[in-house]
Structure 1
Amino acid sequence: MTANAAGPESWSENILEYFLRNNQITTEDGAQIIWYHAANSKAHMNEALKSSAHMIEADVILANDGTEYGQPVMAHPPETNSDNTLQEWLAEVIKSSKGIKLDFKSLAAVKPSMMLLESVKRHLKRPVWINADILPGPNGSNKVVDVESFIDTVTSFFPDVTLSLGWTTGWHSEKVNEGYSWTMMKEMEYICSELNQPVSFPVRAALVRQSCSQLLWLLKQSDRYSLTIWTGKNDNYSIEDLLFIRDRFDKKQVFYDILGPQNHEFKQAIGIKINL
């Protein structure tokens, strides 16, 4: 199923169209979408569900619980366990109307998670994104999720789910940080040109300004593509960097999963009210 053929209950529906149709945003502008990041623990999950976020992002790993077959739990490495299993998390989230983004750091957690997701699919008539870092990026490690296995596993369960495919990255405060290179863009486009569903590329805010030409080129390759700008906790970037991105990219093609005070400042600067 292509993005354009997406029905109103399809996981490949554009999130702007979905939230606009449900009167949760007022215009097709990616900056209007509010994200809640790392809703992993029960406390953070409950906070996310009570918040005005449209999309809840959470991380899935296999529990290191001493058994041969750990179950999927909500945690971000280096954590190895959690007070929240994916099964419990889904049971609570399906009671809400919020969209979901699940982030995988290892291939082992993907199949058991897709099986759990499949068991509640009829209750999830809302956007669902599945995320993994599949290529090494600027200052990133080579520890990536195997792209072919990841995409094959996810799409064997959900052929039209929206994929979020990124690069591993690092950021150093003491030195000049290289941006995303042309090689990184061409590798990503080579992979995604074969797909039919929408793909959003998570890119690190502190590295976007120096990669503007490359990212603009990537988005021009397909109307299925978008960017999700995210920030590391200790990254040094400015509101001007975010405004620079906003001025140069199509507003329908860029989402902003930005932390705390900067998010508020950015939304104020572009005239979007935010209540969290």
Structure 2
Amino acid sequence: MEEKDEKNFNSEENGKRKEPKTFLGIFTREKFIMLCVGIGLIALLLIITLTSVFVITKSDASFDMDIEPFPSDGDMLDFLIQIGEIQEKDGLYATWYHAANNKSEMNKALNSDVMILEADINVQGYNTANETNIPIMAHPPDIYSDNTLEEWMDAVLKSKKGIKLDFKSISAMEPSLDLLRVKNQTGINRPVWINADILPGPNVPNFWPVINSSEFSLTLWQGKENPTVNDLLFIRDNSNPLRIYYDIYEPVLSQFKEAAKVRNRPRRFYPGGDIIDYFRPVNSDGLNIQWDTVTNKDYLLYLLEGSQPELPLQDCLELILASKKSWGIYLRIKSHSQLSLTLELLRQAYDRDLLHHPTWINMDIAHGAFYIQDYVTGEEFLRTIDQIFPYVTLAPGWPKEVLDEGYKPKLVEDMVQLFQGAWQDVSLQLQAEALDRSVTGCRSLIHAQSRFSLTLEHRTEDTGLNTGTASLMAIRAVSRQRNFYNMPNIYKEHIANLSV
């Protein structure tokens, strides 16, 4: 019995020795090693993935979906300020990328520091048997592309870039606008400019009133020839910086920006420009602009230098243009020969880059209901100015012989009709004493202010202070920025007191 029990004990002991060793009471050595290897591989994969995402995100910093809501028809400069691209509302600081069409150029533009992407749109296979209605990004003669408008928009909307789309065919318009409408349902959140060439150029100077309108902005883009810095400064000095953009190539753009930022540089004012913009009177009120009549050299020198012979016009101009003070020039012309000679002198000064003062040409003219023999006709007045030197403000007046009953409606209507097609600024010249007789014509004069400014004159100082006051104040009530007062200070002070 003892021998048998000993064998059984040894068998149990051997059985215990053969049981495999476990970890955590669950895994064998082999399984535990495999588990550790698997966990290590998963951790390594996560590290690689997160690192890749970080690197890609950092390498494309321009891609950022976090944009505050912004209307697609909103102001481009407001948008650039909102996203922190510019600090000052001035089109000078906006930058452009041209022809960001195929995917390579698009990605290069997206990864650049430019603010606005300009790209061209056509339809696939344009003007061929394979033409479709799919908008693609291509500039003629290309009619195929590796980038559709939808793909382009999807990529650009992940950035903070402004958008300018240049349509190269009318066929691309409808499908493109449909696509933009769909995209805007979820928010384009940036300005979208729609561009197309619709008129043969250059349309100079007839387009000038459109540019000066507050309803339009202006984008200067560069053609085959480089513009000069002086030309660009001239345009900038006569435009609202909030409404003009410069799509100009280097190095001219940098040279222009440097020159434009120089403090206290002389302004290159357009001689036919707005004198409110030039003098910037208090409250933009034409009443606060001082007028002086110069008839001799001594008085002109007194005005210019603070310090009565005949004064040739050329000497007068040379003295004014040499002065460092801000002067406007108002020239009262009496005959056609004087008109031609005066305009020729102005043209010469302008060609020498000397004339940067607002310049008005005044003449009493004949036309329609105010046709009087021996006066230069309105048509001849316009034709002569346009032929010799058109960069002025037109300041026509009526012959005194027709003003016995004041500015009758027919007199005003014919003057307005005569100058309606002029591209220059026009300021109608009114005599205070004739306004006393203009009760019926006053309404026509007020209506004319929508197109023309009005200049009110006292040519004689022996009239009473209240001469023409009722009509004058009715006109003044419509717009203080479109009325000017060429009269002695005593009359201007009286008007100012009545305006309080």
TM superposition score category, shorter chain reference: 0.7 to 0.9
Matched, 1:44 2:299: yes
Question: Could you say what secondary structure the match of 1:129 adopts?
Answer: strand
Question: 1:61 is matched with which residue?
Answer: none
8 Å CA contact 1:11–1:161 kept in 2: the answer is yes
Name the SS of the counterpart of 1:198 in structure 2.
Answer: coil
Q: Structure 2: how far apart are the matches of 1:235 and 1:146?
A: 31
Of 188-197 and 254-263, the range deviating more from structure 2: 254-263
Equivalent in the alignment of 1:128? 359
Q: Is the 8 A contact 2:328 2:357 kept in 1?
A: yes
Whether the 8 Å contact between 1:18 and 1:127 is mirrored in structure 2 is yes
Matched length: 233
- Residue of structure 1 equivalent to 2:54: none
One-letter amino acid of the structure 2 residue matched with residue 99 of structure 1 = G
Of 116, 119, 127, 2:348 maps to 119
Structure number with greater Rg is 2
Distance in 2 between residues matched to 1:210 and 1:230, nearest whole Å: 15
Higher relative contact order (CA 8 A, sep 6+): 1
1:108 equivalent in structure 2: 337
Supply the distance in 1 between the matched residues of 2:335 and 2:427 (Cα, whole angstroms): 19
Unaligned runs of 5+ in 2: 1-204, 213-234, 239-268
Within the alignment, does 1:229 sit opposite 2:484 as a pair?
A: no
**Contact preservation (8 Å) 2:445, 2:475:** no
Task: Name the structure 1 match of 2:486.
Answer: 257
Gapped regions of structure 1 (runs ≥ 5): 52-74, 76-81, 272-276
* 1:121-200 → structure 2 map (5 Å cutoff): 121=350, 122-135=353-366, 142-169=373-400, 177-200=404-427
Sort the Cα spacing of 1:43 and 1:141 in 2 relative to 1 into closer, same or farther, 3 A: farther
1:5 aligns to 2:265 (yes or no)? no
CA–CA separation in structure 2 for the residues paired with 1:47 and 1:138: 42
Contact kept in structure 2, 1:205 and 1:237, CA below 8 Å: no
Aligned-pair distance for 1:34?
Answer: 0.9
TM, length-normalised to structure 1: 0.72
SS state at 2:411 partner: helix
Shift of 1:136: 7.7
Deviation at 1:99, TM superposition (A): 0.5
1:29 aligns with 2:285: yes
> SS of the counterpart of 2:429?
strand
Aligned partner of 1:15 in structure 2 is: 275
Shift of 1:160: 3.6
Query: For residue 87 of structure 1, what is the aligned residue in structure 2?
Result: 314
SS of alignment partner, residue 131 of structure 1: strand
% identical equivalent positions: 24
**CA displacement 1:106-127 (0-9 Å, x = unmatched):** 0011222211111212212121
Deviations 1:221-276 (A, max 9, x none): 464401111113255343474365134432122111113533344445546xxxxx
More helix by share: 2
Corresponding residue for residue 46 of structure 2: none
CA RMSD in angstroms, aligned pairs only: 3.1
2:210 and 2:278 map into 1 onto residues whose CA distance is: 13
CA positional deviation for 1:17:
1.7
Give CA-to-partner distance per residue, 1:189-223, whole Å, 9 cap, x none.
12111211111111110111432552442453464
Distance 2:422 2:442 in 1: 19
* 8 Å CA contact 1:200, 1:226 repeated in 2: yes
Structure 1 CA distance, aligned partners of 2:321 and 2:367? 34
Normalised by the length of structure 2, the TM-score is 0.42
Distance 1:206 1:241, change over 3 A: same
1:248/1:194 CA distance change after superposition, 3 Å: closer
